Amino acid sequence: MTVKQIKVFAPASIANLGPGFDVFGLALNELGDILNIEKSSKKEVKISLSGLSNNIPIDPTKNSAGVVLLNMIKREKLDYGFKVEIKKGIPPGKGLGSSGASAAAAAFACKELLDLQIDNKDLVEIAAQGEAAVAGSAHADNVSPSLFGGFVIVCENYDFIRFDAPEVGLVIVMPDLFYENKTKLARSLLPEKVDLKDAVKNIGYASKMVASISLGDPVLFGRSICDNLIEPHRAKMIPHFKEVKKAALDAGAYGCSIAGGGPSLFAVGNDLLSIGKAMQESFGEISSEIYISKPNNRGAHKL
């Protein structure tokens, strides 16, 4: 068998973006995972890790990229397997789509490496199944922007709508907090029912956010980052959340909320470094890192 390989980059992402729980996702510039995948003669998946890989399993049944590759072997009835080197550029467990980026990179790599004629909707579903191995559910609000870049609206049955994101500056503050099974924990905090008035508010802010993307208006985008449904519950797992958010808004941020399932917070504004430092100081005794970014409109691609 002729050995073939491919090297792929997939960007980090922020899901929810305030009012768009399990629906909105935004790809981030620069921050991402690099996967080098090659065919192997044995019908198995072997994983090696480097970079920001703490607490990430190499067992392919428990690794988002590994699950994608195992499923691809079954789906395409392959008589061979894969070796994959994962260079993690996204810190796991911080709400920046770490497992989603690895899953997206693996799905994209398989399509290219095997020359598969599958549509984008199927590609999202393949990647989402990898997410399910880590997050407990096959949600697509991280894998979609990691695959295709930009701002993505995720619909039922892995349908999605993608827009180029406007030139908007974001600052992400990542506190030194770690939770076992963080995504499952974050989902366990959510209520089964919500008040109608809160749902209506979220619909309004979500509509404003989509309008801001269509208009290319970064200020309107930032001011649409308001969430009355999810944020109040997930804030309980983030120490000093109220103080950090207030510090961001007082420092000039247009909006601030939890990145994905947390514990990172993100804000949109102009003087991003000042906003980030104010947020960082408000975490008090908890150390944190600041990352300044903007949207990535390219998505997964070969290197």
Find, among 81, 89, 88, the residue nearest to 38 by Cα: 81
Element (H, E) at 132: helix 120-135
In contact, 13 and 142? CB cutoff 8 Å: yes
In contact, 99 and 62? CB cutoff 8 Å: no
CA distances from 191 to 67, 120, 195, 230, 233 (A): 30, 32, 10, 9, 8
179: tokens are 């939770």
Look up tokens 């985008």; give the residue.
221
214: tokens are 């269509």
Write a three-state SS string for 174-222. EECCCCCCHHHHHHHCCCCCCCHHHHHHHHHHHHHHHHHHHHCCHHHHH
Known active-site residue 131: yes
Catalytic residue among 2, 44, 76, 183: 183
267: tokens are 């804000």
C-alpha atoms less than 13 angstroms from C-alpha of 132 in its C-beta half-sphere: 12
Catalytic residue among 131, 180, 231, 281: 131
Task: State the catalytic residues.
Answer: 131, 183
